[in-house]
Amino acid sequence: WLKEALLSSPAKAHQMAAMKVCVSLLLCAAWCATPGRAMEASPIAKIIQMISDLQAKILAEGAQSQKVYEEFAEFCEHRSKDLQYEIKTGKDEKGELEATIAKEDAKSGALGEKIDELAGAIATDEGDLKKATEIREKEFADFSAEEKELLEVIDMIKRAIGILEREMAKSGAAMVQLKNSNSVVQALSVLVHASALSAQDGTKLTALIQNSKQAEEEEEAGAPEAATYEGHSSGIIETLENLLEEAEGQLSEARKKETSSKNNYEMLKQSLEDDIANANKDLDEAKKSLAASGEAKATAQGDLTVTSKALAADISTLDDLHKDCLTKAQDFEAETTSRTEELKALAEAKKVLKETTAGAEAQTYGLNQESFLQITSKAGLAQFEA
C-alpha cells in the first residue's frame, strides 16, 4: 500500500499520498521507539531503506518522464513546423489558384467579346457578298439581254445590207422601185414586199432607223428629209452601215462595261471571301481558346476545393496540436511539481526517522515523561490535518 501511494500518477494525489506516508512512517517510528523496542533498530532501518528505494524509484520515474516529455516536446516542435510550412504552402497555392480563376474569368470575357465581334463581322461580310452577288447577277442578266439584242440587230443589219447590195445589182421591177425610193424606210418596205427581207426584220430595222434619226430631224428643222437621198442606192447602204457601226459600238461598250463590272465584282468577292475566311479562322481559334480557358478554370476550381479543404484540415490539426502539446506540458509541469513535493516529504520522513532512532537510544523510561509516540502522533496528525 505504501509503494502504491508513493507512486500514484495523478498530480493532485501525490502530495496527499506523501503526507500519508510521512504520518504512517512517523507512527511506525514512534511504535518502534517505545521503551520495549528501543534497542530494536532493524525495523526502522528497513523503513529508512524502503524510503530510499522509493526515492530512487521516483527519481528514476522522473528521469524517464523527463525523457518522454522531451521527446514529445521535440515532436510538437517538428510537427508544428511541418504544419506551419504546409499551411503556408497551402495558402500560397490557394492564392495562385484564385488568381488563375480570376485570370481565366477575364480571359473568357475578352474571348467572348472577340467571338461576338468576329461573328458580327462575318455576318456583315456575308451580307455584303450576298448583295454584291445579287447586283452582279442582275448586271449580267441585263448585259446578256442587251448583248443578245445588239447581236441580233447587227446580224439583221448585215443581212439587210447584203440583200440591198444583191438587189441593186439586179435589173427588174424591184431594182427600179429601190432606185425610185425616197427614203430608207421606203426602200425597206420595197424589200419586204419583194420577199427579199422578212416582215419582222423590216419592222425592226424601220424602228431602229426612225429612232436613230429622230434626234437629228428635231435639230435640223426645215432641212431636206433625212431619209431622202440623191443617188439612192448608195445612200441607203451608207445609212445601214452607219447603223451597223453604231450597233457594234454599243455592243463593244456594253462588253467593256460588263468586263469592268465583272472584274470589280471578282475583286470585291475575293476581298470579302478572304475577310470571311480569316475571320472564321480567328473565330475557331477564339472558340478553342475559350474552351481551353473554361477547362483551365474548372481544373483550378477543383484544385482550389481540394487545397482549401487540406488547408482547413492543416489549420485545425495545428490548433489541436497546440492544445494537446500545451495540455501535456501543463500535466508534465504538475507531475514534476508533485514529484518534487513527494520527494521532499520522503526526505523529511527519512530525517525524522533517523532523529527518532537516535533519541530512543538515550531515552529513560519514567512514568512522568511524555512518550515519543504521543509527541510524534500529535505532530503527524496535526500535519496530516493541515
pLDDT in tens, 13-30: 444 454 455 545 544 544
Return the pLDDT at 213: 59
Highest-confidence range of 204-213, 229-238, 276-285, by mean pLDDT?
Answer: 276-285
Least confident residue range of 183-192, 212-221, 226-235:
226-235
Nearest to 353 by CA among 96, 54, 84, 27: 27
Distance CA 25, CA 22 (A): 5
Residue 104: its pLDDT value, please? Answer: 95
Under 8 Å between Cβ of 383 and 23: yes
Q: How confident is the model at residue 350 (pLDDT cuts 50, 70, 90)?
A: confident
pLDDT exceeds 60 at position 326: yes
| pLDDT of amino acid 198 | 57
Q: What is the DSSP letter of 367?
A: T
DSSP 21-84: HHHHHHHHHHHHTSGGGTT--HHHHHHHHHHHHHHHHHHHHHHHHHHHHHHHHHHHHHHHHHHH
Q: Give percent of the chain with pLDDT exceeding 70.
A: 63
Is it the case that residue 176 has pLDDT exceeding 80?
no
> What single-letter amino acid sits at 22?
C
Whether the per-residue pLDDT at 219 is higher than 80: the answer is no
Average pLDDT over residues 337-351: 90
More confident residue, 375 or 88: 88
Provide the mean pLDDT of the chain.
Answer: 76
Q: Taking 70 as the threshold, does the pLDDT of residue 348 lie above it?
A: yes
Per-residue pLDDT at 235 exceeds 90: no
Per-residue confidence (pLDDT) for residue 66, from 0 to 100: 93
Percent of the chain with pLDDT over 90: 48
Residue 73, pLDDT above cutoff 80: yes
Residues 110-123 have a mean pLDDT of 96
